[in-house]
């Protein structure tokens, strides 16, 4: 192989290396924003020292699109405890929703989770939820999502 051909091969290899590095950095940045990734900025808000259990009525249900390479819809509720109304972040719809016992505005619910400040406001990142006779473990004691690695309904 002549020198000109080697230079061409080296230039192509260098270009591929640069683009693969940029792609990996972009993917890491997306994962830091994606709420459902365990090491995201959002997931790091969870603090086991701030666990609280609340009883109340669902005042609102929101379906929130999560950014990232595997965009997922998340379920957030607004919980009215009588003393306060607090946003509660449950988890991805595929893990939270139950067609046999759907969450509805006005339903009574009990949630345990970490009290955090999210986007400048108080919120609860839920670890478990009781809705009627249904109990759902959402996160481990240290905040890791139970749905990690899962796809589709249970």
Whole-number pLDDT of residue 21: 52
Whole-number pLDDT of residue 26: 44
User: Quick one: DSSP state of residue 150?
Assistant: -
For the chain, list the domains and their CATH numbers. 43-137 (2.40.50.140)
- Say how far apart CA 83 and CA 100 lie, in whole Å: 30
User: CA end-to-end span of the chain, whole Å?
Assistant: 57
Which is it for strands 85-92 and 108-118: parallel, antiparallel or unpaired?
Answer: unpaired
Which is it for strands 51-66 and 85-92: parallel, antiparallel or unpaired?
Answer: unpaired
- Say how far apart CA 135 and CA 127 lie, in whole Å: 11
- The pLDDT tens digits along the chain (154 residues) read 677 766 666 767 655 555 555 444 544 444 444 444 445 566 678 888 999 999 999 999 999 887 665 667 899 999 999 999 999 999 999 999 999 999 999 999 999 999 998 888 999 999 999 999 999 999 988 888 898 765 444 4
């Amino acid at each position: 192989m002549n020198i000109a051909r080697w230079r061409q091969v080296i230039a192509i290899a260098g270009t591929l290396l640069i683009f693969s590095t940029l792609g990996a950095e972009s993917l890491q940045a997306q994962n830091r924003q994606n709420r459902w990734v365990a090491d995201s900025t959002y997931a790091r808000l969870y603090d086991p020292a701030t666990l609280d259990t609340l009883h109340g009525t669902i005042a609102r249900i929101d379906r929130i699109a999560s950014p990232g390479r595997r965009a997922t819809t998340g379920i957030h509720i607004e919980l009215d405890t009588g003393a306060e109304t607090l946003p509660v972040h449950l988890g991805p719809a595929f893990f939270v929703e139950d067609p046999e016992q759907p969450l509805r505005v006005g339903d009574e619910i009990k949630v345990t989770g970490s009290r955090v400040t999210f986007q400048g406001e108080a919120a609860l990142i839920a670890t478990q939820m009781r809705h009627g006779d249904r109990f759902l473990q959402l996160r481990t004691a240290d905040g890791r999502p139970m749905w990690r690695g899962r796809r589709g309904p249970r």
